[in-house]
Structure 1
């Protein structure tokens, strides 16, 4: 114990300490990239040993999934998901998020790599991605349902189909962009898709 009464060292598991680690993880992967960013660099940023840092997580994959989960929480500030604003503003926010993602390639690479690896049932992030896709598709479906009711969706477009297509397009564009960042404008391609199913301007 320290003189202040706080537990010190690598075994002090607190929500605040875990949050600090995850925020450092976002910074490292945003600036250094998924491959170059390391557990050691994250640990150095928060003043811990690598062993001490990993004491807060079962393994590296769990840490990486938690970084993405925090990234998702922060994305809610860009994409309105509260009940009052779900609708066209949600879709507009989704496009803004795609524009932002183009500024943090390391996080995009982390998402793409981990989501592919997590298709294995035993992967630590498997359930996280199942839950994430269910949530995102659900929110986008609700947004399209409200837009349909407001006459903002082209007749015949199914709401869940539009939501799944939008999410799938986003993921596919990210892979193409990671392979060659000059080959595609992710946000503009998403706008092109949405213009074909909406009756209002984005």
Structure 2
């Protein structure tokens, strides 16, 4: 039976997409273990059976590969959610705990994030704006969630909400580093849940809650 032009066109696109995903996974492994500066395109290419030029054909540059790898990580982080976007209110904090539980089963991804986020504070790092924007957005999401938890007539203090948002992210990232260094000593999910609950209680404790979000 003859193969249609549409089928022939679809197959190369699918193969290209699979090839790009293979490269992104290899980049995640390489950058996670060696850092961005020390991790080479040649090493990534070798993992997927390609040449250095082949990797560049798909991504153009090492910087672009890094940025697309980070975007890929973000997509996989929310792909299990119904609308592929983090929820609001108390569900956001439950999502953070669920993320910590999932992270305990994927050390490679956690290692990549820990290494690259630390690297990004250096001058001219290609992922600096990505991480700056990521933290800005997450702090905003957490601040909004804290306000959503409370009754509009009894809102939380803005300064405390700002501090709580930064503290939640700092605690989660710090626990990940401790867990990577000594996974037997740190229960990542439990410690994250404990810390998030403590910060949440400090930020909105004593405030009237929205009835729909009471727990």
Assess same fold via TM > 0.5: yes
Distance in 1, Cα, partners of 2:30 & 2:101: 19
Which residue does 2:128 correspond to in 1?
A: 126
Give yes or no for the alignment of 1:39 onto 2:66: no
User: Secondary structure in 2 aligned to 1:35?
Assistant: helix
Provide structure 2 residue ranges, at least 5 long, that are not aligned to the other structure. 206-213
Contact 2:117 2:131 in 1 (8 A): yes
User: Secondary structure in 2 aligned to 1:55?
Assistant: helix
TM-score by length of 1: 0.73
Which residue does 2:106 correspond to in 1?
A: 104
Distance 1:173 1:25, change over 3 A: farther
Distance in 2, Cα, partners of 1:84 & 1:68: 17
Distance in 1, Cα, partners of 2:164 & 2:80: 20
Distance in 2, Cα, partners of 1:168 & 1:80: 27
Provide structure 1 residue ranges, at least 5 long, that are not aligned to the other structure. 7-11
User: Which protein shows a greater Rg?
Assistant: 2
Whose helix proportion is higher, 1 or 2? 2
Q: Deviations over 1:82-115 (max 9, x none)?
A: 8994111111011101111111111111111111
Distance 1:98 1:83, change over 3 A: closer
- Tell me the number of residue pairs that the alignment of Structure 1 and Structure 2 aligns: 189
Distance in 1, Cα, partners of 2:85 & 2:67: 27
User: Secondary structure in 2 aligned to 1:129?
Assistant: helix
Distance 1:112 1:142, change over 3 A: same
More relative contact order in 1 or in 2 (CA 8 Å, sep 6+)? 2
Shift of 1:25: 4.5
Shift of 1:51: 1.6
Runs of 4+ residues deviating >6 angstroms: 29-33, 79-84, 153-157
Distance in 1, Cα, partners of 2:134 & 2:156: 27
Q: Which residues in structure 2 correspond to 1:138-149 (within 5 Å)?
A: 138-149=140-151
Shift of 1:24: 2.2
Distance in 1, Cα, partners of 2:31 & 2:123: 26
Shift of 1:138: 1.1
Which residue does 1:170 correspond to in 2?
A: 172
Distance 1:154 1:65, change over 3 A: same
Q: Deviations over 1:134-161 (max 9, x none)?
A: 111111111111012379x988982222
Equivalent of 2:74, from 61, 72, 75?
72
Shift of 1:179: 0.8
